[in-house]
Amino acid sequence: MMAFLFPGQGSQSVGMGYELFEQYPEARARFEAANDLLDVDLLTLMFGLDSSIDSEEQLKQTAITQPALYTHSLAAMAVLENNGLTPDMAAGHSLGEYSALAAVGALSFEEGLRVVRRRGELMAEAGERRPGAMAAVMGADDEDVEAACTAVSDEGEGVVQTANYNAPGQVVISGDQEAVEKATARIKGRAIPLPVSGAFHSPLMEYAREGLGEVLEAVTIDEPDCPVYLNVTAEPTTDPDEIRQRLMEQLLSPVRWAQSLRRMRDDGATRFVEVGAGDVLRGLVGRTLDDVETAGAGTPEEIEDLSAGL
């Protein structure tokens, strides 16, 4: 069985998707539709077409990063579908959960894009209203990281909690700057501060959650073509009502990525395909599971290799 994985923030790079745009009409149609729907020239920023603009810096901005990654993944998905390649199950990392839902028919491309753009704007605004920090903790057990966060929060040092269970020995924590620093000081592991614009997947995103809730209530969510493994629960679902509820919870809750990968493997996935930019998720699969295959589907060469191998 084949699982499709969709990347989140951190996988972006200038030039991503350009070869798909050049070579496949179905991908070009997705990119051009995104450009028409948004109030920014997304393609110029993604492809680095204007030397007077610092596209790399622009792509780091949450409100730009999220629609750019979503569009790239859905453009790649259009090519995969045209080649008869569809998943048996799907999951996306944070922002990538929206890409996954659109890829398997739960969201239309257009509505998903609008939600993703607004989500990015709200998260950036939440970070300005209540600044915070995130740090990746390497080499520590999940339980030790959780215990450190709980202790700091209980002592009134501010809010800090686990934000991403990425792989064994790689957990991201999020919250108030001082609380994050105090928590990492308690953990036996290496902590790497992350260059982010807010404390994502923590209570500091409450402002964004409220605004996103209003947006999601107005969005049509259909039953997906295959099970989607949700960040909040690491469990599969095809229930539109549950999807809507969990998307609202996702902004304040940890992304249970390693748990999702294990559950997908237990449910029969033997090949994990990263659809979109970069290879971050393939790396996390490799660190979490030792008995599966991985592949990419973000460039023409990767899609051709995937098609030839099936």
Q: Tell me the per-residue pLDDT of 75-87, one tens digit each, with 9 for 90 and over.
A: 999 999 999 999 9
* Per-residue pLDDT reduced to its tens digit, 213-269: 999 999 999 999 999 999 999 999 999 999 999 999 999 999 999 999 999 999 999
The reply to whether 2-128+203-308 and 132-193 are identical in fold is no
108 catalytic per annotation: no
Residue located via tokens 């923030």: 9
The average pLDDT across 40-65 equals 86
The average pLDDT across 294-302 equals 95
- Give me the catalytic one of 94, 99, 153, 253: 94
Query: What pLDDT score does 25 carry?
Result: 97
Query: What pLDDT score does 53 carry?
Result: 82
For the structural domain made of 132-193, what CATH number should be given? Answer: 3.30.70.250
52 catalytic per annotation: no
Q: How far apart are CA 12 and CA 152, in angstroms?
A: 33
* Per-residue pLDDT reduced to its tens digit, 111-136: 999 999 999 999 999 999 999 999 99
Query: What pLDDT score does 196 carry?
Result: 84
- Give me the catalytic one of 174, 197, 201, 253: 201
Q: Which fold has domain 2-128+203-308?
A: Malonyl-Coenzyme A Acyl Carrier Protein; domain 2 (3.40.366)
Mean pLDDT rounded to a whole number for the chain: 94
* pLDDT > 90? residue 310: no
Flag whether the pTM goes above 0.75.
yes
The average pLDDT across 7-15 equals 88
Give residue 39's pLDDT band: very low, low, confident or very high (50, 70, 90): confident
Give residue 62's pLDDT band: very low, low, confident or very high (50, 70, 90): confident
The domains of the chain are located at 2-128+203-308, 132-193
* pLDDT > 80? residue 309: no
Give residue 13's pLDDT band: very low, low, confident or very high (50, 70, 90): confident
